[in-house]
């Protein structure tokens, strides 16, 4: 059996001091939003409790589906790199980026450079090269294939949309097909929910139909995402059957707010090609910071 954990939307705090030059961009709106709203209910104590509970479960692998930072300043990106090293080594932790990791032009490349060991595929170059087409990526861990996709792009103020390109769709379908031929359980990691209507218009994923086509052509057993800060279970229906699409609350969200408190997904994968068994648990932070408990569980395989 392979145990796979999933967290998202870390929004690592506290916010570092930013220069006037760094704030002279879209960052000013995010900076104000952080201090007015997120700083009050997103804290490192919540995140620490969540990570400690995950480590107690001893998963074989941990996936992080984006938004490690808030405004993607250099200080934040480097701090997130340090946090990843504390979280685990690149063999046991996989990361895909979110919209906050590409908050302004150039930030995405800086983040991928700093976090490269956690995002690159098994056969990708050992050293980051800006011109290299990184996404999609493929990581084989035991009987599981982790296919990482990126919707991370810089957007105008008051927009948090993502983009999934035609090239990425074609290559994702190919990776999924090859992993299926190897008899692997295929997990797709992406930040924006690839479900129509799951996010508001200014936060949606552009390329949802392309993503669905890639999964339909290549086949997959599970899709994991973040972005909405909600605990969700949806399904993609295609010629292979139906594929569970699972979202999760922000890993730093404290209790008592409009969004659900911090949580993580824990999957148990067993069986073999054609007869996979996928069991799912959601572990959620209790009210008033009480210990995490299992708040939902079910078998997701048909």
206-228 pLDDT, tens per residue?
A: 999 999 999 999 999 999 999 99
Spell out the domain ranges in the chain: 2-299
Residue 215: per-residue pLDDT: 97
59-69 pLDDT, tens per residue?
A: 999 999 999 99
Residue 129: per-residue pLDDT: 79
CA 77 to chain centre: 16
Residue 258 burial class via C-beta count within 10 angstroms: exposed 0-12, middle 13-18, buried 19 and up: exposed
Confidence category of residue 28, pLDDT binned at 50, 70, 90? low
Confidence category of residue 42, pLDDT binned at 50, 70, 90? low
Better pLDDT: 131 or 23: 131
Give the separation between CA 197 and CA 192, rounded to whole angstroms. 11
Residue 32: per-residue pLDDT: 53
**Superfamily grouping for domain 2-299:** Metallo-dependent phosphatases (3.60.21.10)
The tokens describing 14, both together, are: 């506290």
Residue 287: per-residue pLDDT: 78
Q: What string of DSSP letters covers 147-165?
A: EE--------TT---EE--
Kindly give the pairing relationship between strand 222-224 and strand 205-206.
unpaired
Give the separation between CA 2 and CA 201, rounded to whole angstroms. 37
Block residue for tokens 């569970």: 244
pTM: 0.92
Confidence category of residue 127, pLDDT binned at 50, 70, 90? confident
Mean pLDDT of 157-166: 90
Contact 70, 38 (CB under 8 A): yes
């Amino acid at each position: 059996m392979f145990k796979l954990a999933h967290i998202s939307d870390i929004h690592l705090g506290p916010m570092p001091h930013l220069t006037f030059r760094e704030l002279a961009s879209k960052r000013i709106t995010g900076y104000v939003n952080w201090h007015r709203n997120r700083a009050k209910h997103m804290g490192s104590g919540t995140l620490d409790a969540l990570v400690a509970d995950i480590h107690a479960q001893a998963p074989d692998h941990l996936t992080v589906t984006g938004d490690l930072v808030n405004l993607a300043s250099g200080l934040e990106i480097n701090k997130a790199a340090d946090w990843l090293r504390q979280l685990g080594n690149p063999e046991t932790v996989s990361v895909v980026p979110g919209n906050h990791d590409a908050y302004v032009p150039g930030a995405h490349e800086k983040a991928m450079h700093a976090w490269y060991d956690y995002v690159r595929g098994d056969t990708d170059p050992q050293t980051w090269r800006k011109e290299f087409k990184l996404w999609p990526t493929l990581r084989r861990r035991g009987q599981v294939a982790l296919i990482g996709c990126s919707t991370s792009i810089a957007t105008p103020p008051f927009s948090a949309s993502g983009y999934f390109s035609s090239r990425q769709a074609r290559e994702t379908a190919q990776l999924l097909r090859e992993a299926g031929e190897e008899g692997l359980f295929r997990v797709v990691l992406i930040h924006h929910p690839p479900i129509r209507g799951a996010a508001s218009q200014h936060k949606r994923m552009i390329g949802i139909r392309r993503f669905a086509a890639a999964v339909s052509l290549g086949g997959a057993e599970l899709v994991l995402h973040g972005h909405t800060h909600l605990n969700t279970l949806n399904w993609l229906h295609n010629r292979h059957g139906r594929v569970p699409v699972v979202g999760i609350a922000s890993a730093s969200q404290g209790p008592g707010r409009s969004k659900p408190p911090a949580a993580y997904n824990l999957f148990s994968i067993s069986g073999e090609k054609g007869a996979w068994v996928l069991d799912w648990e959601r572990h959620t932070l209790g009210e008033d910071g009480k210990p995490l408990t299992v708040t939902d569980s079910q078998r997701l395989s048909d």
